[in-house]
């Protein structure tokens, strides 16, 4: 029995409930005291989501762990009052947990995450996004002990470095060369370069080296976006010891280069890749990925400013590509859109916001050729100021700032087809005007008359 945004109120319903989901946060929100009163009577809970209980406390989480003997999934993301005390107790009691989501619990530290990794032998999903106090120490335990992990989120864990991930020693012909490589890795670059202080224990952590047989063979989803201290070395270790990743998010890992892209290219089962805001990524890196990761269905390379039309031309050759985000590429031109129009037949969603060199003619050919296109985001493209185009666009959200983000142009579903028909009509009017030697005047409506 499942309860969504309400609590079981009878003895029978408390006993029968197996799934409890509390996500809403409105005037009638359920508070921590309500949960504390009802949880002891719910011994058969298996899956619990409490993201809509902002005042959730440590005692209530511990009470849940002690009462629900079959608990296998817990999501308390955003419950910022929960601390290490509750998570340490949870790890010691609810040892059958398979799914743990603690995103945004800003006070959590390494001991909690290490306890989860070491104690939960059946752990399949672990989400740790926005935990700003985490260091490489606890993530090393995840790679060491959570061998059945299928999903791992570490987005916005800003203190993570390469030492949080497996290290692949450089192949050297001599043993001394290998030792030099390890030594150079161990001495992580410090913010202090003048020798004013000794290195910290974290900076002197040894590299995390596993045997060739130690792999997270079940890991399919990994998100390390906005971990700005990661370098290409971390990506090499990730793809070596988790070779079956299907969804990989490396966005805003600003120190990555084409070397990381070449490592990503070894992931033969990759379906979804995000490498936005990576200025070190060039056309060469994209070419490496496309040539080897032929199963890609979704790619995000937005705001990776070094990319040109060549990267888009390569991506357009992916036969299974359904979504492409290429916003904020200042060098993108009509050539990329025209090539996609001819080759990206499976494309359903396209984002080209802030690509200011695109013209309306190229957009017209794109929407006319791609029969499966269901979503087109082209906000901030000056060419789409043309009269009549705005009426097919979705309305901007209340927080959209047109002064910073440019005009809002997002077309969905039937509006993509309507835009196609409108542009077809205007093209026909232009041709008729030229045949009759009449000055062409654009119209914003659907009337076909020349004047």
User: In which residue are the tokens 């004013």 written?
Assistant: 196
The pair of three-digit structure tokens given for residue 285, joined into one six-digit string: 């890196």
Spans of the chain below 70 pLDDT:
25-28, 171-195
Q: Residue length, the chain?
A: 451
In terms of Cα–Cα distance, which of 368, 373, 380 is closest to 422?
A: 368
Secondary structure string (H, E, C) spanning 51-112: CCCCCCCHHHHHHHHHHCCCCCEEECCCCCCCCHHHHHHHHHHCCCCCEEECCCCCCCCHHH
- pLDDT for 124 equals 96
Architecture of domain 308-440: Alpha-Beta Horseshoe (3.80)
**Helix (H), strand (E) at residue 286:** helix 283-292
- pLDDT of 141 reads 95
Q: Which of 96, 93, 87, 11 is nearest to 56 (CA)?
A: 87
pLDDT digits (tens, 9 = 90+) for 76-109: 999 999 999 999 999 999 999 999 999 999 999 9
- For helices 110-119 and 84-93, angle between their N-to-C axes, nearest 10 degrees: 10
Radius of gyration of the chain (CA): 26
Cα atoms in the Cβ-side hemisphere of radius 13 Å centred on 349: 9
The CATH code that applies to domain 1-160 is 3.80.10.10
Q: Which residues are within 8 A (CB) of 381 and not within 5 positions of it... i.e. 6 or more apart?
A: 352, 353, 354, 355, 356, 358, 363, 406, 407, 409
Looking at residue 206, the DSSP 8-state letter turns out to be P
* pLDDT given at position 6: 87
* pTM for this model (two decimals): 0.89
Domain spans in the chain, listed from the N-terminal domain onward: 1-160, 308-440
**Is the fold of 1-160 the same as that of 308-440?**
yes
* Calpha distance 264→248 (Å, rounded): 9
The per-residue pLDDT for 169 is 85
Torsion of CA 414, 420, 426, 432, to 10 degrees: -120
């Amino acid at each position: 029995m499942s309860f969504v945004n309400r609590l079981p109120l009878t003895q029978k319903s408390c006993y029968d409930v197996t799934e409890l989901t509390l996500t809403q946060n409105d005037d009638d929100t359920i508070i921590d005291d309500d949960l504390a009163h009802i949880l002891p009577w719910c011994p058969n809970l298996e899956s619990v989501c409490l993201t809509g209980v902002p005042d959730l406390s440590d005692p209530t989480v511990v009470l849940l762990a002690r009462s629900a003997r079959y608990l296998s999934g817990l999501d308390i993301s955003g419950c910022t009052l929960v601390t290490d005390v509750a998570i340490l107790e949870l790890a010691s009691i609810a040892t059958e947990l398979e799914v743990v989501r603690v995103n945004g619990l800003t006070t959590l530290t390494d001991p909690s995450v290490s306890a989860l990794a070491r104690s939960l032998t059946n752990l399949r999903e672990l989400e740790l996004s926005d935990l700003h106090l985490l260091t490489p120490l606890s993530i090393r335990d995840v790679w060491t002990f959570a061998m059945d992990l299928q999903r791992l989120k570490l987005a916005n864990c800003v203190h993570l470095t390469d030492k949080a991930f497996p290290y692949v020693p450089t192949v050297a012909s001599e043993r001394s060369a290998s030792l030099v490589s390890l030594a150079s890795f161990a001495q992580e670059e410090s913010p202090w370069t003048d020798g004013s202080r000794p290195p910290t224990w974290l900076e002197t952590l040894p590299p995390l080296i596993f045997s060739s047989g130690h792999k997270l063979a079940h890991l399919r989803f990994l998100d390390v976006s906005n971990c700005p201290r990661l370098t290409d070395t971390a990506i090499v270790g990730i793809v070596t010891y988790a070779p079956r990743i299907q969804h990989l998010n490396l966005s805003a890992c600003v120190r990555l280069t084409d070397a990381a892209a070449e490592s990503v290219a070894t992931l033969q089962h990759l379906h979804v890749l995000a490498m936005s805001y990576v200025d070190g990524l060039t056309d060469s890196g994209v070419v490496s990925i496309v040539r080897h990761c032929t199963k890609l269905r979704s790619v995000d390379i937005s705001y990776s400013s070094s990319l040109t039309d060549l990267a888009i031309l390569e991506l357009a050759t992916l036969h299974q590509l359904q979504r492409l985000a290429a916003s904020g590429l200042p060098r993108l031109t009509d050539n990329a859109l025209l090539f996609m129009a001819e080759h990206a037949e499976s494309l359903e969603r396209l984002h080209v916001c802030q690509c200011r060199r695109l013209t309306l003619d190229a957009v017209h050919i794109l929407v006319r050729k791609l029969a499966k296109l269901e979503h087109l985001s082209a906000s901030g493209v000056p060419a789409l100021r043309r009269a009549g185009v705005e009426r097919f666009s979705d309305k901007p959200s209340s927080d959209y700032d047109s002064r910073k983000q440019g005009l809002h142009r997002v077309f969905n579903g039937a509006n993509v087809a309507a835009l196609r028909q409108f542009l077809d009509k205007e093209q026909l009017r232009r041709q008729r005007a030229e045949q009759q030697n009449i000055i062409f005047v654009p119209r914003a409506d659907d009337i076909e008359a020349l004047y």
